[in-house]
């Protein structure tokens, strides 16, 4: 599974990075960075939580 970020929609709130700190982070400019290409099975719940908490629906999961 992978996390896909729609950069045009992302407004840098950071709720997703709080929900999945091993997978996502905001850089100094407020841009979201995916830290891992593939989401390990043990991190799937965090990835799903990150997608859910995004207020602008800028994230999605792909198999």
- Return mean pLDDT, the chain: 96
pLDDT at 20: 97
CATH number, domain of 56, equals 3.30.70.20
Work out the pLDDT band at 40, boundaries 50, 70, 90: very high
* Tens-digit pLDDT profile for residues 1-23: 999 999 999 999 999 999 999 99
Q: How many domains does the chain have?
A: 1
Rounded to two decimals, the pTM is: 0.90
- Residue 48: CB atoms within 10 A of its CB come to 17
For residue 19, what are the domain limits? 2-62
């Amino acid at each position: 599974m992978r996390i896909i970020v729609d950069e045009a929609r992302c407004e840098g709130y950071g709720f997703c990075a709080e929900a999945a700190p091993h997978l996502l982070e905001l850089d100094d400019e407020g841009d979201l960075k995916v830290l891992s290409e593939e989401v390990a099975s043990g991190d799937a719940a965090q990835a799903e939580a990150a997608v859910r908490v995004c207020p602008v629906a800028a994230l999605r999961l792909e198999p």
